[in-house]
Amino acid sequence: MANISISNLPFTKGSPDEILSFENNDMGIELFIEPLVEEYEMDIEKLLPKLSSKNLSFHCPYKFVNEAVPEDSCIWQKTLGAFKYTVNLCKKYNCSYLVVHTNESILDSTKGEKYAIKNLNTIINLTSKYDITAAVENVGIGFNCIKKEKIEEGISFLKT
């Protein structure tokens, strides 16, 4: 039987406690983690101790972060800090996996894709140190989407 998880994304405008009603339905729960959105993240931190879900997973930060930038940029340092925070929460709450997506603001497709693949490797190495499965999600439209073949190339790179 397939595992089914419900995301808290549709509930982010209401009370975070709404997600608690799904806990008794044998569903997993996926929480979006946004350490750079202070008020939202404070609500998530209050919610987490109330959850007893065996199938808890997190979705990586996507607001105010960007993987498609050079490693020495302030944006990447902020992004990496947000991911480290999320990985530490994964470890603390024994998450099944961390969804990592590549929905970046790619201003220069050649360089941006290269940076995103390299930085994705950094993030996956970070998750693997704690035995957390990184589930790579390729989302985005047009210039905000890394091409499918680039992701496949990146995944091949990550396997080496």
Highest mean pLDDT among 8-17, 64-73, 78-87: 78-87
38 vs 26: which has the higher pLDDT = 38
pLDDT of residue 110: 72
CA-wise closest residue to 90 among 46, 129, 118: 129
Query: What pLDDT, on a 0 to 100 scale, did the predictor assign at position 51?
Result: 86
Highest mean pLDDT pick, 11-15, 32-36, 111-115, 119-123: 32-36
Segment 137-147 mean pLDDT: 63
Domain ranges of the chain: 5-159
pTM of the model: 0.84
Q: Of 123, 121, 131, 124, nearest to 95 (Cα)?
A: 131
Would you list the DSSP string of the chain? ----EEESGGGTTS-GGGGGGGGGGT-EEEEE--TTSHHHHHHHHHHGGG---SSEEEE---SS--SSS-TTSHHHHHHHHHHHHHHHHHHHTT-SEEEEE-B---SSHHHHHHHHHHHHHHHHHHHHHTTPEEEEE---SGGGB--HHHHHHHHHHHH-
Residue 158, CA distances (Å) to 118, 152, 153 in order = 9, 10, 9
Residue 142 has pLDDT above 70, yes or no: no
Residue 126 CA, distance from chain mean position:
12
The pLDDT confidence band at residue 160, using thresholds 50, 70 and 90, is very low
Residues in CB range of 148: below 8 A, 6 or more apart:
138
Q: Is residue 155 predicted with pLDDT exceeding 70?
A: no
Is the pLDDT reported for residue 116 higher than 60?
yes
Task: Quickly name the fold that domain 5-159 has.
Answer: TIM Barrel (3.20.20)
